Structure 1
Amino acid sequence: MSNMAADWYLIDEVEQLDSPALVFYQERITANIEKLKQHIPAINRLRPHVKTHKTVEITQQLLAAGITKFKCATIAEAEMLGLCKAPDVLLAYQPVGPKIDRFIQLIKTYPDTVFSCLIDNESSLKEIAHAATVSGVVIPVFLDLNVGMNRTGILPDEHALALYETAAAEKGVEILGLHAYDGHIHDADYALREKQAAVILASIDKLTRQLVRKGMAEPVIIAGGTPTFPIYAKLDSIECSPGTFVLWDKGYQDAFAEQDYLTAALVITRVISLTSATKITVDLGHKAVAAENLLKKRVHFLNAPTAEAVSQSEEHLVLELGSGHGFRIGDILYGLPVHICPTVALYGSANIINNHKLTEGWKIISRERKINI
């Protein structure tokens, strides 16, 4: 085995792995967690999102690193955090229908964890508050602001101010602060991201000043994901919620050069057919790598960097390699996903690699819609 840095991904006895397979590289995950901590002045301002890895084991590593606050998007992810006794968990979602009762069940089942959720309208606020009162609990909530994502949230204007005041007076809930997710900001140009974030920060600051003038406590502010993390990390008033950092991917590696995380998750695939003199087919279909991007922007092969996707179906990916590529039936390709979060969700477990060796398997426990609750 070569010791070249380019060969970090090679796995001893890789032939034992059936394909397609998801693999996590433990030493690179450890390095990424340390890098995250170095990139923010105070660890108590970190609230990483668990949607990327969805595992108990990585959650435990984050807890061991001193991180106590987390963000998640599903009841299953919240329950995974409860199982790990994470102290502070924000469900970055507004529960509706049966989710409200499930959320209250979580609060009662996992008393070591303080669970909070989002609200963006008075109807949901009233429904959540009523269910909490009936159940004898008080639910911490954050006002979800629409700062440009245009999917959920209330615009940070006088209506947001009024809803915050209503929530502050409501029994069954305790409003803690503001949540602003800016996933629409993903320009490669860091200066452009700074400029866009400044507009968001100004609107949050204005709303914050209005709340304080009305005699309310200074709101906790949770803002951003990975693209704006370096911007918000500099500001003492903001809790930051990167998620992709822990595994990283080709998309963010290419787009955000200022963030030096290591790619720590790959998909392993095999050549199953020599399609033509210049093409091969591998067993990496839609079900094995996130397919929401354009065909040519779904996966990059570390040991076949010039391979270009020609077509993909549920179980197959056809690659153009040119003549004389040298690949044979059964050969392994190491694929770096462009978007790792939905790729992880396609697998029931991840194979763990440590120092080139396959050591164990971790269940992707919260890919399920339901664990117990």
Structure 2
Amino acid sequence: MGQKEWYIIDNINEIDTPALVVYPDRVLQNIDLLKTMVDDAGRLRPHVKSHKSIDVIKLMLQNGIEKFKCATIAEAEMLGMASAPDALVAYQPNGPKLERFIALIKAYPDTAYSCLVDNRQTALAISNKAIEHSISISVYIDLNVGMNRTGIIPDNSALTLYKECLTLPGVTLRGLHAYDGHIHDSDFEIREQRSETSMVPVWKLIDQITAAGLGKPDLIAGSSPTLPVIARLKEIDISPGTFIYWDKGYQSAYPEQPFLPAALLIARVISLPENGKVCIDLGHKSVSSESELSKRIFFLNATDLKFIGHSEEHLVAEAGLDHNYKIGDILYGLPYHVCPSVALYERALTVVNNAVKGEWLTTARDRKINI
């Protein structure tokens, strides 16, 4: 008999589907690989949005990663619960979110929290609330380097905002944040060139800040696609997220990053409609569905299937008139976009030595944990 495929689960008949499963040994290998890609592990600030799991955070802490990035208050609280030393909420807190952010700062003093600002109004609101609560709130100026989502253009207006934040009571300005999520070309040379071009105004802004006698700001930059580019630079934090589980989309697009798929979606064939079709229990509620139908899931052990229909609870595929699929067949699926797929599951089953042995809760799946 040939060697068993890495993803096979021996006790699969005990597992209801659809299910999210993770392979902790592969997660650890991905953490180790990430650490080899930078000159100093202290530069790593992984984004927790991909896994939303306190168990994964604990693994990274045990392996010397101490700085993190997140998007939601729940993710930030999860980091506080894990006693992560440093947590950037890469979002601008407004209204009730600002109140919750302040509650986090008070509830988890062992975690140094920070957030983003890209405008004077938000900066003033943060300052006023900090004074009201007798605390100091750390911020980074969010720069728009091409994503065109949030952030201030890194020009004189950014310099003005930077200077003002330095004078605001209750605000501690820590540096700059430049997310380049718009750069995702498969061709590495093109990606590299676009990354370098996007950073030119950032370097100019840093030079202006330094020349004004304001010191050299800390910088958080890059994304998963530009990780190999930003990793070559010095003294810059980088915050990849998808590396931890990897997915089919990034595996196909970025072969220069040899991370291992470490999370799969398990499904079953539940019906055999006429005309050579199979129906699988993996609907919109079970796998991220923002991409075209052919790029939602890749079944490792059923690469011949051609998807023709997708609804809330079902995925229909063309298998050919002479197919051998049977009701109850297990399919091991690698999602094209793992981050929102993970968020659909309240827990991930852990697979060790080809058997499900435990589970990791998707701790920050909900919008609220305690605060």
Range into which the TM-score falls when normalised by the shorter chain: over 0.9
Give the alignment of 1:53-202 within 5 angstroms: 53-202=51-200
* Other-structure match for 2:232: 234
* Other-structure match for 2:292: 294
Report the 3-state secondary structure (helix = DSSP H, G, I; strand = E; otherwise coil) of the residue aligned with 2:49: coil
Return the offset for 1:297.
Answer: 0.6
RMSD: 0.8
Percent identity at matched positions? 52
Aligned residues: 371
- Answer whether contact 2:18 2:265 (CA < 8 A) is retained: yes
Measure, in 1, the Cα distance between the counterparts of 2:276 and 2:37. 45
Measure, in 1, the Cα distance between the counterparts of 2:131 and 2:320. 66
- Answer whether contact 1:27 1:355 (CA < 8 A) is retained: no
Give the alignment of 1:298-317 within 5 angstroms: 298-317=296-315
* Other-structure match for 1:361: 359
Measure, in 2, the Cα distance between the counterparts of 1:34 and 1:276. 48
Measure, in 2, the Cα distance between the counterparts of 1:259 and 1:308. 28
- Answer whether contact 1:78 1:91 (CA < 8 A) is retained: yes
AA aligned to 1:305 is T
Q: Structure 2 stretches of 5 or more lacking a match?
A: none
The match for 1:28 among 26, 29, 33 is 26
AA aligned to 1:43 is A
Measure, in 2, the Cα distance between the counterparts of 1:87 and 1:2. 46
Return the offset for 1:130.
Answer: 0.5
Measure, in 2, the Cα distance between the counterparts of 1:161 and 1:217. 13
Give the alignment of 1:323-334 within 5 angstroms: 323-334=321-332
Q: C-alpha deviations, 1:122-141, integer Å up to 9, x for none?
A: 00000011001110110110
Q: C-alpha deviations, 1:13-68, integer Å up to 9, x for none?
A: 10111000000011110110000001111000000000000001000000000000
Measure, in 2, the Cα distance between the counterparts of 1:56 and 1:278. 43
Return the offset for 1:261.
Answer: 0.2
- Answer whether contact 2:42 2:66 (CA < 8 A) is retained: yes
Q: Tell me the TM-score normalised to structure 1 length.
A: 0.98
* Other-structure match for 2:271: 273
Q: C-alpha deviations, 1:160-213, integer Å up to 9, x for none?
A: 000000000101111111000000000001101111111122111100010011
Q: C-alpha deviations, 1:229-266, integer Å up to 9, x for none?
A: 00000101311000000000000000001000000000
Measure, in 2, the Cα distance between the counterparts of 1:235 and 1:286. 40
* Other-structure match for 2:3: 3
- Answer whether contact 2:145 2:199 (CA < 8 A) is retained: no
Return the offset for 1:277.
Answer: 4.0
Return the offset for 1:2.
Answer: 4.3
AA aligned to 2:152 is I
Return the offset for 1:214.
Answer: 1.0
The match for 2:252 among 251, 254, 275 is 254
Measure, in 1, the Cα distance between the counterparts of 2:266 and 2:283. 12
Measure, in 1, the Cα distance between the counterparts of 2:323 and 2:342. 29
Return the offset for 1:276.
Answer: 2.0
Q: Structure 1 stretches of 5 or more lacking a match?
A: none
Q: Does 1:346 align with 2:344?
A: yes
Return the offset for 1:323.
Answer: 2.5
Measure, in 1, the Cα distance between the counterparts of 2:322 and 2:11. 26
